[in-house]
Structure 1
Amino acid sequence: MSHIDANGGWMPLTMPQLDFWEEFSFHPDKPVSTVAHCLDIEGDVDGDALTKAISETIRESEVLSVRFLQEAQGGDPLQCFDASRTPVITHIDLRDSADPLAEAKTLMEADIHAKLDLRTDRLSAQSLFRIGEKRYLWYIRAHHIIIDGYGLTLIEQRCGQLYNHLRGRGEAGKPFHSFASFLAEEQAYSTSRRWEADRAFWTQYLDASGDLPVLYRGDEDYGAPGLHHHHELSATFCGKLRETAVAVEIGWPDLLVLFAGLYLYNTLPRQPTGDREVLTIWLPFMSRWGSIGAYVPAMLVNILPFQLALDPQETLRAALARNAGILRKQRLHGRYRIEQMAEDKGVAKGSRFFFSPLVNVLPFNAPEFEGCRVTRHILASGPGDGFNLTFRGEDDGRRLTLYVDADPSMTGQDEFNRHKRDLPAFLDHCLSPDAMERPAGALWSRFAQVSR
């Protein structure tokens, strides 16, 4: 990686950015990795203050104004912050429309599915729809090469802070760090002792893991429609989950990951490694370890391979504690990039690991805007591989919704329907009063008996 000038200028791409660039080079005519959120803001909305807060937040979020350059065919691209590329808010007043909300959704969907050329196009769009006297929709769209979902959440929270300040509540707060300073911090990590220790951990872990599935970029199929389902988990379930998390001293997001992992362990093919069978589950990790990276919108999310194994003699409580300990240890080394792990394992250029099954828990509250009710809608989060489980909800574990997504070429409709039916019921079964002291290996067979 070449030297990074903290004052700006042309700078190299990070490893995840290079991965998205390679994806674009294989699929330049497809809108593959678009991310988009929409905030529904209703109430005593000050339109002028909202516009001002969004504009200032965009200005601070330098990554939204990044421009790429590839000087030679096949050469590594470069990037720079270009103030002339800063997104300008598009104001769209739909109050006179017969169905303002439907028309706004149509416009947003059209933008999400439009082709985006990383070499020439602006990489972010911002629109503010007015769909009622007291109701606005703030639409934020970008390419995954510059930002991840948590980065968009940071932008939303920062905008809420600025809006509240303009309305006389609270301080303006500190602006985001510069994009160049973030890249410099990432470069410093890549030459640090911490990087060497992280590499040693993952080398040892993956050497004991057997072969991980690999996907050739040219085989990625982004055109076929997938199978999708969502299920709102009950308030009773959410309450029991939080209570159980306290009782077993495991954070509720990790407990949910492990319960979902137990379901997948019993319903998907496992891989024999030595004297046991394991299931590799891919887990997104925010990876915001750096003091700068923690407060800058950018593409930082990592994906970690977690190998779930069960000892038939263990109680569920013991199995959860052991695997939760592995999760914590992995995250201590979670800054080490999955793209680097692939390179270390000899995965060829033009290929990557196949991230399936994947389990993602996203516990993020919608931002607060003074005098308003705010609802966040995730409109696009990029493509997924194979089979994916996503849990979205409040940061305290309330109002959880389960999303199930599958590739129909790998999961048939009947099998998908079984997952839709059995997964929520199994999660609830894991929270039954006597489950913790029963053998973890017998949990599925008991569930199968009581669910007939």
Structure 2
Amino acid sequence: MAQRINPDGLQFQVGQYVEIHGPLNPALFESALRRAVAEADTLHARFPGIVGDGDGDGDIDGVPHQVLGPPGDWALRTLDLSHGPDPRAAAEQWMREELRTPMDLVHGPLFSFVLIKTAADRFVWYQGYHHIVTDGAGSTLFARRVAELYTAFHKGEPAGESPFSSLAALLDQEAEYRKSEEFERDRRYWLERFASPPQAARLTTEPGIEPSDFLRHTTLIGADEADRLREAARAARTHWSVVLTAVVAVYLHRLTGTQDITLGFAVSARKDPISRRTPGTLANILPLRVELSAATTWTDVLRRLSREVRMALSHQRYRGEDLARDLHLTGGVPALVGPEVNVMSFDWDLEFGECRATHHNLANGPVPDVSVMAYEQPDGGIRIDLNGNADLYGPQDLADHQRRLFALLEAVVVDAGRCVGGVELVSVAERAALLDRGSGGAGTAPGVLGERVVAGGDAVAVRCDEVALSYGELGSRSDRLARFLVGCGVGAERLVAVAMPRSVDLVVVLLAVLKAGGAYVPVDPGYPAERVRFMVEDAGPVLVVASGEVAGRLPSLGVSVVVLDDPETEREVVGCPDGEVTDADRPAPLHPSHPAYVMYTSGSTGTPKGVVVSHQSLVNTIAWAVETLGTRALSHVMMSTSASFDVSAFELFAPLGGGCRAGAGGGVG
């Protein structure tokens, strides 16, 4: 159904390659490959109706169904990259691009084979499949048969009968299972285990998105480190794959705080001789559930998960999709599980005649959220691939998650008796970044807004009706006015009452007060004289800045009033330098804890009360707005409220902090 909705989607592409070391005979290889394709029923499949093809070829009222027939005219493509500067890298790049080519579910074939020459004695066999016809175990069986046939042809010996059973035999076996007592036992187990299914925890707060592509971050564990992991697993009487699964569960708990963890657990679902020897798609994702807290020891987590894994393997034939339907989960299996763990324990020890071969995975099907894949390497090491839904995670996200996972893995290897909450996950660099984010970057409003002013240049920073200022003009005017205010005694922990209507001049004044190190007290020009007098007397500002229009209406305040548009004031301000205002210009250094503005509320008793907001709080608000809302949304924010209302600081400084255009009074644009 997902493929029908998005026919060009690549989430169901499966890809791998086998690197063949030695003088392979390409003609002999193609003969072996063609015979193996002829033997594998699953590679003969196509699916009329799955994308609404309407060509009538076996169509059953547009209902997706499977048709088996000769695979048709397919070719083993060949590619010679051996003469380039880095043939192996070129081959990997080419294969990743090839993997992005959609397959035709209606007409087939649903496989793609390419033999790439990277040296005189080195070849790469690329294998691409649609996940509907095979899984990891199935592709392993197929590759093993090709190697077996090639070796027989190379030695001039009989290849023997095909070990594969038919797809019909697999379907018959599945039908028998669904009528069996084993099916009922499996179903009962899963329904009892998830009678009250938990909410699946994930590593992102973004809503789930149907995967269209994935990203991968790979880490190789050397043989010595891998041996330490295996020894730790033996000491806990379990397998190293369970240790890895425990690490993922603990990591999810540590990052989300969730104590009832459910992971996706990939199983082959091949429990009998027929399925174990026949290529096809049988892989299953089942939920592993474990409860833990920060005080839980690694030993306890391993014990609990070992039991969960044993029980899951005992009941692995029951489909995860069936369980999701039983539980009425509209999101399917992804609604039940968080990150998935897939340990690929297949036998990839292949030989093509006298040529040894090594296996490499490229893609393994859909990645709804995050999946951790592990493979044992020929040298005794272990490869860990962290795959992430490309619509939810970026490359740095995956790198950070992988680093923290390995910190936990090292912890359990060193001391399984310690509590899972005792492992430090935050690196030195991350801690510095978090502290930096917590103080809003530079930590003060002039620091953050000053960076945006410099970067903004000629872009419009603020507009009121037909009057606009660019970022450069806003910076220059506010710098000059800030120096003028410093000369008037404004500095850290000193207040400036600002009585002006919404205008570009109001924005200049507020920013200038902040740059001078002071805190502004907005006074609405429409307030009654009694309230204005109370606010000024209560706040005790060093001066009042007002427009000429408003200054004439102010009551007697007992404090100096600077009339911004007075010719004498304008001459003095213009005479001040317009460079960046720093602590060297201020009476005292400015700190994030210093007040940025004081907002007077109406007060629950009817008496206005001043609320002090620090630079740190203002900067955090700006950072939150830019990160959460984004610049597109902030571009449409207008300062529509009085400057004396608390939301006005957000309406003005959030757009400026995002490098957007702020609107003051008039329309934004």
Report TM bin, short chain: 0.7 to 0.9
**2:156 and 2:350 mapped to 1: Cα distance?**
14
- Change in Cα spacing, 1:72 to 1:449, as seen in structure 2 (3 Å) is closer
1:444 pairs with 2:421 = yes
Q: CA deviation at 1:243?
A: 1.5
Could you say which residue in structure 1 is the equivalent of 2:273? 291
Superposed CA deviations along residues 53-89 of structure 1, whole A, max 9, x for unmatched, are 22222221110111223335553x2213212437442
Q: CA deviation at 1:239?
A: 0.7
Instruction: Return the structure number with greater relative CO, CA threshold 8 A, min gap 6.
Output: 1
Tell me if structure 2 keeps the 8 A contact 1:357–1:386: yes
1:149 pairs with 2:136 = yes
* More deviation, 301-310/42-51: 42-51
Q: How does 1:49-448 map to 2 (within 5 A)?
A: 49-70=28-49, 71-72=59-60, 75=63, 77-85=64-72, 87-94=74-81, 101=88, 104-105=91-92, 107-168=94-155, 172=159, 174-175=161-162, 176-212=164-200, 220-223=209-212, 226-270=214-258, 277-310=259-292, 315-348=297-330, 353-354=334-335, 355-364=337-346, 365-394=348-377, 398-407=380-389, 410=392, 416-432=398-414, 435-438=415-418, 442-447=419-424
Tell me if structure 2 keeps the 8 A contact 1:42–1:372: yes
Structure 2 stretches lacking a partner, 5+ long: 50-58, 432-669
Tell me if structure 1 keeps the 8 A contact 2:222–2:380: no
* More deviation, 26-35/83-92: 83-92
**2:396 and 2:221 mapped to 1: Cα distance?**
22
Q: CA deviation at 1:341?
A: 0.8
SS of structure 2 residue aligned to 1:69: coil
**1:414 and 1:152 mapped to 2: Cα distance?**
31
SS of structure 1 residue aligned to 2:132: coil
Report how many aligned residue pairs link the two structures: 413
Paired residue type of 2:10? P
Q: CA deviation at 1:93?
A: 4.4
Q: TM-score if structure 2 supplies the norm length?
A: 0.56
**1:57 and 1:411 mapped to 2: Cα distance?**
39
Q: CA deviation at 1:331?
A: 1.2
**1:32 and 1:430 mapped to 2: Cα distance?**
34
SS of structure 2 residue aligned to 1:437: coil
Alignment RMSD (CA, Å):
3.1
SS of structure 1 residue aligned to 2:198: coil
* More deviation, 410-419/350-359: 410-419
Tell me if structure 2 keeps the 8 A contact 1:125–1:141: yes
Paired residue type of 1:353? P
SS of structure 2 residue aligned to 1:401: strand
- Change in Cα spacing, 1:57 to 1:268, as seen in structure 2 (3 Å) is farther
Q: CA deviation at 1:36?
A: 1.4
Q: TM-score if structure 1 supplies the norm length?
A: 0.81
Superposed CA deviations along residues 190-246 of structure 1, whole A, max 9, x for unmatched, are 1111111111111111113335589xxx974444x6553221113222011121222
Tell me if structure 2 keeps the 8 A contact 1:233–1:424: no
- Change in Cα spacing, 1:212 to 1:94, as seen in structure 2 (3 Å) is closer
Could you say which residue in structure 1 is the equivalent of 2:536? none
SS of structure 2 residue aligned to 1:436: coil
Tell me if structure 2 keeps the 8 A contact 1:146–1:298: yes
* More deviation, 258-267/286-295: 258-267
- Change in Cα spacing, 1:316 to 1:113, as seen in structure 2 (3 Å) is closer
Tell me if structure 2 keeps the 8 A contact 1:59–1:86: no
* More deviation, 151-160/368-377: 368-377
Q: Which structure is larger by alpha-carbon Rg, 1 or 2?
A: 2
**2:178 and 2:187 mapped to 1: Cα distance?**
10
SS of structure 1 residue aligned to 2:407: helix
Q: CA deviation at 1:450?
A: 11
Superposed CA deviations along residues 265-322 of structure 1, whole A, max 9, x for unmatched, are 222341xxxxxx3111111111101321111110000001111212777643343123
Tell me if structure 1 keeps the 8 A contact 2:16–2:360: yes
Structure 1 stretches lacking a partner, 5+ long: 1-21, 271-276
Could you say which residue in structure 2 is the equivalent of 1:11? none
SS of structure 1 residue aligned to 2:47: strand
**2:385 and 2:313 mapped to 1: Cα distance?**
24
Identity %: 26
